Structure 1
Amino acid sequence: MTDHDARIRQSWQANADAWTRAVREQRIESRRLVTDAAILAAIAEGPARRVLDIGCGEGWLCRVLAEKGSECVGVDASAPLIEAAQMAGGGRYEVMDYAGLIEAGDSLGQFDALVCNFALLDEYIAPLLGALRERLNPGGRLLIQTVHPWTACGDAPYVDGWRLEDFAAFGGEFSAPMPWFFRTLESWLALLAASGWRLRQLREPRHPDTGKPCSLLLEVQPLGG
């Protein structure tokens, strides 16, 4: 585990309660107005009888999908977030990090849809992306929603690199900043291709008032699948 990986995990351990409240009280405008609906709409466009939510957090997506008839499994590296998800129900939840998914993902079974909703924060995710191909049923899809590279770049150079999220926009309850790895659009597409995925659709969900993209949403399928 790299130093950045350890700091990401420490941040989610420390901020688990604050994050759970922020999500359940709908304090995050971009989620409330745009990105939650965007990922749900993308999932609904294809098979979703069985869904794996990777980086499920406190479990909101599994709960909504369960209400729509999907069987959901949620995994997250943060034990406090998984505990919050288990208490709220809506699916099967397990503490599992990237390495666990690579080494023991077969214990979770096969899925129609794999979802990474603002969950791919590390630099070295190619091994995970490669392993996830084995978790899909024929015709299944991987959906990745992440920050939009152009809007998230801000005034920094438009190049791959580590950034720091201080959660200032989410209220004063967050105690530990979180490093995350920024990727350009070109880098995202190259990474997916190198990991054995082909792009099926690219979406840029936009804010209803500003018209600017709030996220980048990539739908991919295994090469040759």
Structure 2
Amino acid sequence: MDNGWEASAEAWVNSMGKHGDFSRWAVLDSPMLERVRLAAPLRVLDVGCGEGRFCRKMAETIPEVFGIDPTVRLLELARGKGGAEYVEGVAEALPFKDGHFDLVVSYLSLIDISDVSTALREMIRVLRPGGRVLITNLTGWVTASQEHGGWSRDERGATTMTIDRYLEEHAHWGEWDGIRIQNWHRPLSFYMQHFLELGLTLTHFDEPRANAVDDQRYDACPYLMLMEWRK
């Protein structure tokens, strides 16, 4: 099923620019790279690597970095910039042997995967015993608002949001800056229960603050989370 990524690839890369969007450069990159540094992996897999931006960041300190993505155009762009070995494929059927990686990363990619239960099992399968899976995701309350247009702010900066069907897994289409892609909403309990059932141990959880000193609106209503689990 088409989720819009192939047709949106060029617009996506243009929207990211050199450093990524606000969620990436101002909120998630620093704590993600810190967790990668602490894990000290030799071989890493980035599931849903897109144009390879975070793969290239990890490759500055990690000997072997692999990225996998189903979007052909994004992989072409990633390979053109190098920094990792890029593989075409889906998260639900990872083309790697059991226990192949020290660290598996999902950087805002779980919301793009329809059969995420299978994808999570695959991510754990290719992880060695003692290895870590490092995930960033939108919070459930913000994905549950997307069908109603997300949030709005009044002249005082106060946020108004309509949240619906929070406990129900469901898909919605998002459109902005020439991009039209399908995302999935799932409550936080969905992910917590799946990882616990897979026998993993939660080693880190955070809702990082923005590091942009001139933008404190994000900290007043943060919508990103980071979690790390050990196999």
Q: List 4+ stretches of structure 1 deviating above 4 A.
A: none
Higher deviation after alignment, 49-58 or 157-166: 157-166
- Matched with 1:133 is 124
The answer to whether the aligner puts 1:179 opposite 2:170 as a matched pair is: no
In the TM superposition, residue 72 of structure 1 has moved relative to its aligned partner by: 0.4
Residue 156 of structure 1, aligned match among 160, 163, 170: 163
- What is the SS of the residue equivalent to 2:50? coil
Q: Report the CA distance shift for 1:138/1:77 in structure 2 as closer, same or farther (over 3 A).
A: same
Match of 2:2 among 4, 7, 18: 7
Of the structure 1 ranges 207-216 and 33-42, higher mean CA displacement relative to structure 2 is found in: 207-216
Q: Is residue 91–residue 123 contact of structure 2 (8 Å, CA) maintained in 1?
A: no
TM-score (norm 2): 0.81
The letter for the 1-side match of 2:88 is V
Task: Look up the equivalent residue of 1:125 and give its one-letter code.
Answer: V
How well do the aligned residues superpose, as a CA RMSD in angstroms?
2.1
Residue 229 of structure 2 is aligned to residue 220 of structure 1: yes
Report the equivalent of 2:109: 119
Is residue 67 of structure 1 aligned with residue 74 of structure 2?
Answer: no
Question: What is the TM-score normalised by the length of structure 1?
Answer: 0.83
SS of the equivalent of 1:126 reads helix
Does the aligned pair in 1 maintain the 2:141–2:163 contact within 8 Å? no
- The answer on whether the counterparts of 1:71 and 1:91 sit within 8 Å (CA) in structure 2 is yes
Offset from partner CA, 1:75-134 (integer Å, 9 cap, x none): 001111111100000010010112431xx3219x71111001111123432222223223
Give me the whole-angstrom Cα distance separating, in 1, the residues matched to 2:8 and 2:32: 23
SS at the partner of 1:166? strand
Q: 1:45 aligns with which of 32, 38, 47?
A: 38
Q: How many residue pairs get matched?
A: 207
**Correspondence for 1:96:** 89
Cα deviations by residue, 1:27-57 (Å, 9 ceiling, x for unpaired): 6222221122232222122122211000000
Partner of 1:3: none
Gaps spanning 5+ residues in structure 1: where?
Answer: 1-5
Which amino acid letter does the alignment assign opposite residue 97 of structure 1? V
Residues 159, 59 of structure 1: CA spacing in aligned structure 2 closer, same or farther, 3 A cutoff? same
Which secondary structure does the structure 1 equivalent of 2:133 belong to? strand
Shift of 1:139: 2.2
Partner of 2:208: 205
- Take 2:185 and 2:226, find their aligned partners in 1: how far apart are those partners? 15
Task: Call closer, same or farther: CA 1:152–1:181 in 2, change over 3 Å.
Answer: closer
SS at match of 1:202: strand
Q: What stretches of structure 2 of length at least 5 have no aligned partner?
A: 146-161
Q: Secondary structure at the match of 1:7?
A: coil
Structure 1 residues 156 and 137: CA distance shift in structure 2, 3 A: same
Measure, in 2, the Cα distance between the counterparts of 1:122 and 1:65: 23
Look up the equivalent residue of 2:82 and give its one-letter code. G
